[in-house]
């Protein structure tokens, strides 16, 4: 351990929900997208699931909202070290979308992509079992454009760059394909509890 | 059936360079060698990092401080210095109100102190000096852009480079003494006699895009989220293609 002379840091707050190397951002919700925030109206938003599935499908805003609505209440963690506790997103579980398209047994991974062209890769198992959503609201309000509105992917058990803003689709694959940040040196999976920030962690 | 994914739209621009995974994975000791005051709220901290793998202008690193009880705080910081192969790097840090890391730097740190860094990180905001660069920053958002300006100057590059930088006042303008003809400062609260006061506007951006260099500009925007939103809208309105706007937001 390399102790920094004279560094004491913030008062220690024991929070079992805080992964290693993270701090509590409190009321802040930093925006870190690397691209121009798109001007995307709900009427222009679509979401497609295809690739290794029985029945590829594209949902529009109304069709997606006709699926059973669920909420996520919990924490989110950004690779830049902030975490945010007790947030509430409303949306639809990805399981409901997958139920329609029926993934092949050969599907093992996914690329999530945005209406901007942003991409991120995930193991399919991180998107199923009630652990991933298409989110439309935050704290009961429409999701703001800078936070990915009108709709973003939400995979809160992984670092938040996996939760693609302005989600346009998910393609199921039988192999892993690095996405935007993953090609730029970030970890393939991004589990905050194992501090998988960068490739090699 | 094997399917590969081809991104469907414009932003799917790759990083500018390949990233060294090894360098990013290892924590290294960085020894503070010099502190220079830039403005009332910002100082530059120079470090010796003997095994530094080198970086390109625009890249950042992760910095870690460790307390005696093992508590650590880590932050991403843009690198201010141009790559110089001398085993030194410089960071310019604002003194953030209540900031545990920037607070330590501004009130405790002195030459000889050791911290840990890993990097350089991310190839997306990097500028290898290979194409015309239009740089737009505000406040400490000028830091990674200054690495580009310094690189341009140090290497005597003739590829066009312009910097628009917004600051509250001349006293708050980081690197004010170093800027040359490539830079246009914009002052939002107070300005020298005869210089307009106001927000960065289309009038600053449009002329640069009306006569772009051959091949067009690669635009790099850095600052707060609010500034990045504003500046990127100005660029798009002036005709800059969205897939050639790279944004680094501080958060």
Average pLDDT over residues A106-130: 97
pTM of the shown model: 0.92
pLDDT at position B8: 54
Q: Which two tokens stand for residue A135?
A: 């989110």
Residue A164: closest CA among A116, A114, A126: A114
Is there a contact between B234 and B226 (Cβ–Cβ < 8 Å)?
Answer: no
Tell me if A7 and B7 make a contact (CB, 8 A cut-off): no
Residue B34: closest CA among B48, B51, B54: B48
Task: Give the lowest-confidence range in A56-60, A122-126, B97-101.
Answer: B97-101
Average pLDDT over residues B98-108: 96
DSSP assignment string, B106-125: HHT--TT-EEEEEEEE-SSS
HSE-CB for A193 with a 13 A CA cutoff: 6
Per-residue pLDDT reduced to its tens digit, A19-30? 998 999 999 999
Tell me if A21 and B74 make a contact (CB, 8 A cut-off): yes
* Rg, chain B, Cα only: 19
Per-residue pLDDT reduced to its tens digit, A66-95? 999 999 999 999 999 999 999 999 999 999
pLDDT band for position B17 (cuts 50, 70, 90): low
Domain with CATH 3.40.50.80 in chain B: 133-250
pLDDT at position A12: 87
Residue A178 to chain B, least CA–CA distance (Å): 10
pLDDT at position A199: 85
Query: In this predicted model, which residue has the larger pLDDT, B112 or B24?
Result: B112
Task: Name residues whose C-beta falls within 8 Å of residue B6's C-beta, 6 or more positions apart in sequence.
Answer: none
Average pLDDT over residues B28-32: 97
Residue A199 to chain B, least CA–CA distance (Å): 6
What crossing angle do the helices spanning B202-210 and B225-237 adopt, rounded to 10°? 40
Mean residue pLDDT across chain A: 96
Q: With residue B145 as reference, give the H or E element that holds it.
A: helix B142-154
Q: What angle do CA B91, B94, B97 make, to 5 degrees?
A: 145
Is there a contact between A56 and A49 (Cβ–Cβ < 8 Å)?
Answer: yes
Is there a contact between A178 and A111 (Cβ–Cβ < 8 Å)?
Answer: no
C-alpha separations of A113 from A99, A172, B150 in Å:
20, 11, 36
Nearest CA in chain A to B244: A35
Average pLDDT over residues B236-244: 94
pLDDT band for position B11 (cuts 50, 70, 90): low
Q: Dihedrals φ, ψ of B150, to 5°?
A: -65, -40
SS3 B204: helix
C-alpha separations of B160 from A19, B106, B181, B182 in Å:
45, 36, 12, 9
Facing residue for A116 by CB, picked from B11, B20, B75: B11
Q: How far apart are CA A71 and CA A75, in angstroms?
A: 13
Residue B108: closest CA among B24, B45, B40: B45
Q: In percent, how much of chain A has pLDDT > 70? A: 100
Task: Name residues whose C-beta falls within 8 Å of residue A11's C-beta, 6 or more positions apart in sequence.
Answer: none
Q: Is the pLDDT at B6 greater than 90, yes or no?
A: no
Tell me if B2 and A184 make a contact (CB, 8 A cut-off): no
Average pLDDT over residues A6-11: 94
Tell me if A32 and B122 make a contact (CB, 8 A cut-off): no
Per-residue pLDDT reduced to its tens digit, B161-216? 999 999 999 999 999 999 999 999 999 999 999 999 999 999 999 999 999 999 99
Nearest CA in chain B to A10: B100
pLDDT band for position B122 (cuts 50, 70, 90): confident
Torsion of CA A12, A17, A21, A27, to 10 degrees: -80
> Which residues in B lie closer than 8 A to residue A175 (C-beta atoms)?
2
Q: Which two tokens stand for residue B132?
A: 């015309």
Residue A186: closest CA among A122, A100, A114: A122
pLDDT at position B7: 53
> Which residues in B lie closer than 8 A to residue A51 (C-beta atoms)?
3, 5
pLDDT at position B22: 61
Average pLDDT over residues A110-125: 96
Q: Dihedrals φ, ψ of A176, to 5°?
A: -95, 130
What are residue A89's DSSP bridge partners?
Answer: A72, A138
Average pLDDT over residues A44-55: 97
Q: Which two tokens stand for residue B73?
A: 């705080």
Is there a contact between B248 and A36 (Cβ–Cβ < 8 Å)?
Answer: no
Task: Name residues whose C-beta falls within 8 Å of residue A26's C-beta, 6 or more positions apart in sequence.
Answer: none
pLDDT at position B121: 87
Per-residue pLDDT reduced to its tens digit, A140-149? 999 999 999 9
Residues in chain B: 251
CATH number of A46-194, picked from 3.40.1440.10, 3.20.20.140, 3.90.420.10, 1.10.540.10: 3.90.420.10
Was domain B26-120 assigned CATH 2.40.30.10?
A: yes
Per-residue pLDDT reduced to its tens digit, A151-189? 999 999 999 999 999 999 999 999 999 999 998 889 999
> Which residues in B lie closer than 8 A to residue A173 (C-beta atoms)?
2-5
SS3 B35: strand
Residue of B1, B2, B4, B5 to mutate, testing the A interface (most A Cβ within 10 Å of its Cβ): B5
Q: How far apart are CA A134 and CA A96, in angstroms?
A: 10
pLDDT at position B4: 58
Is there a contact between B249 and A30 (Cβ–Cβ < 8 Å)?
Answer: yes
Tell me if B5 and A180 make a contact (CB, 8 A cut-off): no
Nearest CA in chain A to B117: A2
Q: Are strands B28-39 and B114-121 parallel, antiparallel or unpaired?
A: antiparallel
Domain with CATH 2.40.30.10 in chain B: 26-120
CATH number of B133-250, picked from 3.10.450.50, 3.30.70.240, 3.40.50.80, 3.40.50.360: 3.40.50.80
């Amino acid at each position: 351990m390399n102790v920094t002379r004279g560094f004491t840091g913030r008062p220690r707050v024991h929070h079992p929900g805080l992964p290693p190397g993270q701090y509590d951002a409190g009321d802040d919700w930093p925006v870190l997208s690397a691209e121009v925030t798109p001007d995307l109206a709900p009427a222009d938003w679509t979401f497609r699931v295809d690739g290794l599935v029985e029945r590829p499908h594209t949902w529009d805003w109304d069709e997606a909202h006709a699926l059973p609505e669920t909420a996520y209440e919990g924490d989110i963690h950004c690779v830049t070290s902030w975490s945010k506790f007790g947030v509430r997103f409303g949306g639809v579980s990805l399981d409901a979308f997958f139920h329609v398209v029926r993934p092949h047994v050969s599907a093992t991974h996914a690329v999530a992509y945005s209406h901007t062209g942003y991409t991120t890769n995930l193991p399919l198992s991180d998107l199923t079992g009630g652990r991933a959503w298409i989110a439309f609201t935050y704290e009961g309000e429409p999701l703001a454009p800078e936070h990915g509105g009108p709709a973003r992917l939400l995979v809160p058990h992984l670092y938040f760059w996996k939760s693609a803003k302005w989600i346009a689709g998910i393609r199921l694959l039988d192999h892993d394909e690095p996405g935007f940040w993953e090609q730029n040196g970030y970890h393939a999976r991004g589990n905050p509890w194992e501090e998988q920030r960068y490739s090699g962690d | 059936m094997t399917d590969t994914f081809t991104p469907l739209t414009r932003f799917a621009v790759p990083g500018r360079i390949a990233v060294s995974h090894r360098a990013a994975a290892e924590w290294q000791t960085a020894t503070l060698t010099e502190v220079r005051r830039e403005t009332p709220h910002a100082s530059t901290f120079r470090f010796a990092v003997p095994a530094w793998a080198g970086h390109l202008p625009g890249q950042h690193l992760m910095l870690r401080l460790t307390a005696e009880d093992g508590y650590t705080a880590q932050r991403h910081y843009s690198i201010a210095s141009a790559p110089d192969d001398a085993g030194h790097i410089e960071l310019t840090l604002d003194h953030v109100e209540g900031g545990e890391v920037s607070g330590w730097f501004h009130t405790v740190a002195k030459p000889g102190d050791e911290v840990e860094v890993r990097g350089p990180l991310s190839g997306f905001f990097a500028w290898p000096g290979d194409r015309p660069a239009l740089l737009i920053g505000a406040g400490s958002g000028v830091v990674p852009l200054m690495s580009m300006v310094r690189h341009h100057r140090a290497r005597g590059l003739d590829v066009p480079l312009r910097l628009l930088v917004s600051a509250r006042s001349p006293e708050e303008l980081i690197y004010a003494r170093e800027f040359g003809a490539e830079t246009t400062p914009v002052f939002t609260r107070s300005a020298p006699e005869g210089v307009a006061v106001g927000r960065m506007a289309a009038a600053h951006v449009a002329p640069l895009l009306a006569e772009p260099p051959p091949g067009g500009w690669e635009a790099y925007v850095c600052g707060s989220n609010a500034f990045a939103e504003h500046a990127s809208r100005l660029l798009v309105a002036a005709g800059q293609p969205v897939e050639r706007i790279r944004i680094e937001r501080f958060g």
